[in-house]
Amino acid sequence: MRDIQSERIKLLQSGHVPIYEPGLGDLIIKNKERLSFTLNVDEALAHAEIVFVCVDTPPTSAGDADLSRVWSVLRSLKGAAHLAAVVVKSTVPVGTGARARSVLDEAGLGHVGYASNPEFTAEGRAVSDFLNPDRVVIGASDAETARLVEELHQGVNGDVVVMDIPSAEMARMASNALLATKISFINEIANICEATGADIGNVSKAVGLDHRLGRHFLQAGIGWGGSCFPKDSEALKQLASNTGYHPQLLSAVIEVNNLQKRRAIQKLKDQLGTLEGTQIALLGLTFKPGTDDMREAPSAVLASRLLAEGAAVRCWDPLARPADVEPWTSTTRHESVLDAVTGADAAIVVTEWPQLREVTWGEARGLMRRPVLYDGRNLLGPQTMRDLGFTYLSVGRP
Ligand code: UGA
């Protein structure tokens, strides 16, 4: 195992959580007598009846999900003939269950049940999402395996739906794809609002009140990011393409999202002319508030594009982990929003951190070289900001 993982195991053994996830630390401390963490597979398997496979499945260069870690875990189970079931929680493409069955059979575990139990929790809300899910999906090879996995969810407050394995795998992919579709759709409507004089806030509210459509995931903005939507939508697109089907809608959903981030740069250019030699402040770096995760964050695309245009990039974020990779090594980090905007020609609200509502924007305006503010999350009041003297731009609002 890699060093970083042994560090994480050490932290967990001492009751510390190596990631930011509200409520998780308390849960680990509360259950410390029932939990153990180890790097040793044999130790982990010694008394196990059910094994959950939760490794990540990053994209390959072809955009497919890389399942090598899943196979490696399954192979490491060889000899654990006492197991009752193996459950895959990792995000995997449809068809993984069938291949996993062969790997388990080859490892002499033909008698061990197999289930897909996909993950639907969101970062920053993982504990409450897990305990109060809209549904628990179990795709199982047989009724006994399904029963075992269902029994493990006793005390979890949500409907359990049992189905075949490929459908469970697809349910997970389709759920994320539909959520991403809703956001790209509302972002496209927001862009049309800008050209026609409608206000996306009012439009989203009116659309969302139709119970058939639902009010969630209709918040227009700078585009979706994170470790899930970008990777999962691409993996589903590739899965479809590998079968010879061209997923037109999904492809458009991804493209709208890519363009949405670049649109912010164009809006700044419209205001500032060239970005060469300008100073631009990025307010919020994580892919959403309430997490320290910067994977596939829109901020990275903005920072790269700004640097490519010759701008200097100044950043603020309350939780983001410093990353020693481009584009971040070419930017400057600031402890406060006021420091970050000092001398800036424009600022972009990239992540809707609640702290940004509390900023003394009048003071910020005075510190900036030019008062251009692009609110990529429609966090602030347009009239208030204009009254403070900002050239205030947002997404889909007149
Ligand atoms: C997402 C799903 O919501 C979870 O159900 C799923 O289990 C998880 O992926 C996963 O695959 O593991 P997560 O990536 O943590 O969860 O974050 P979301 O809250 O879904 O937000 C994703 C992105 O969409 C963020 O960049 C957010 O800013 C953006 N978003 C969300 C919008 O732009 N508008 C919205 O209305 C909602």
The answer to which of 29-38, 88-97, 173-182, 310-319 has the lowest mean pLDDT is 29-38
232 CA closest ligand 1 atom index: 11
| β-bridge pairing 312-316 and 372-375 | unpaired
Q: Which two tokens stand for residue 173?
A: 């992919």
Q: With a cut of 90, say whether residue 18 has pLDDT above it.
A: no
Q: State the pLDDT at residue 43.
A: 92
**Beta-carbon contacts of residue 319 (< 8 Å; ≥ 6 apart):** 20, 286, 291, 292
Please state, in angstroms and rounded to a whole number, the distance separating the CA atoms of residues 292 and 21: 9
Q: Is 43 helix (H, G, I), strand (E, B) or coil?
A: helix
Whether the per-residue pLDDT at 80 is higher than 70: the answer is yes
**Tokens of residue 313, six digits:** 């990039």
Beta sheet of 113-116, edge-to-edge order: 50-53, 85-88, 113-116, 135-140, 159-163
Are 120 and 129 contacting, i.e. CB atoms less than 8 angstroms apart? yes
Q: How far apart are CA 235 and CA 287, in angstroms?
A: 19
Ligand 1 in reach of 352 Cβ (< 6 A): no
- Per-residue confidence (pLDDT) for residue 154, from 0 to 100: 94
Residues paired with 65 in a beta bridge: 59
Percentage of the chain lying above the pLDDT 70 cut: 99
CA of 248 to the centre of ligand 1 (A): 22
| Average of per-residue pLDDT across 118-147 | 96
* 24, 228, 351, 353, best to mutate for ligand 1 pocket (most atoms within 8 Å of CB): 228
CB 152, CB 76: distance < 8 Å? no
Q: Which has the closest alpha carbon to 339: 307, 315, 304?
A: 315
pLDDT for the residue numbered 2: 40
Cα separation, 267 vs 132, whole angstroms: 41
Q: If DSSP codes are grouped into helix, strand and coil, which group holds residue 132?
A: coil
pLDDT tens-place string over residues 334-369: 999 999 999 999 999 999 999 999 999 999 999 999
Task: Decide: 221 in ligand 1 pocket, CB within 6 A.
Answer: yes
pLDDT at 3 over 70: no
- CB neighbours of 51 closer than 8 A, spacing ≥ 6? 45, 77, 80, 83, 85, 86, 87
Atom 6, ligand 1: which residue's CA is nearest?
120
pLDDT band at 4 (very low <50, low <70, confident <90, very high): low
Residue range 187-197: mean pLDDT, rounded: 97
- The torsion defined by the Cα of 101, 103, 104 and 105, in degrees rounded to 10, comes to 80
When pLDDT is cut at 50, 70 and 90, the band that residue 308 belongs to is: very high
Task: Output the pTM of the full model.
Answer: 0.95
Q: Residue 128: its pLDDT value, please?
A: 95
Question: According to the model, what pLDDT value does residue 31 have?
Answer: 92
Report residue 105 CA to chain centroid gap: 34
The per-residue pLDDT for 255 is 98
Q: Using an 8 Å Cβ cutoff, are 378 and 205 in contact? A: no
The reported pLDDT for the residue numbered 1 is 37
Tell me: the pLDDT tens digits for 250-266?
999 999 999 999 999 99
Q: Domains in the chain, please, with CATH?
A: 6-171 (3.40.50.720), 229-393 (3.40.50.720)
How much of the chain exceeds pLDDT 90, in percent? 91
Max avg pLDDT among 4-8, 37-41, 61-65, 68-72: 68-72
Rounded mean pLDDT of the chain?
Answer: 95
pLDDT tens per residue, range 161-178:
999 999 999 999 999 999
The CA–CA distances, whole Å, from 148 to 111, 130, 145, 162, 195 equal: 15, 18, 5, 12, 55
As a whole number of angstroms, the distance between CA 182 and CA 13 comes to: 41
How many Å lie between the centroid of ligand 1 and the Cα of residue 70?
24
The conformation of residue 65, written as its DSSP 8-state character, comes to B
Q: Cα separations (Å) of 116 from 52, 164, 287, 340?
A: 10, 9, 28, 46
* Atom 29 (ligand 1) nearest CA: 224
Residues taking part in catalysis:
228
Residue corresponding to tokens 């990777």 = 231
Say yes or no: CB of residue 121 within 6 Å of ligand 1: yes
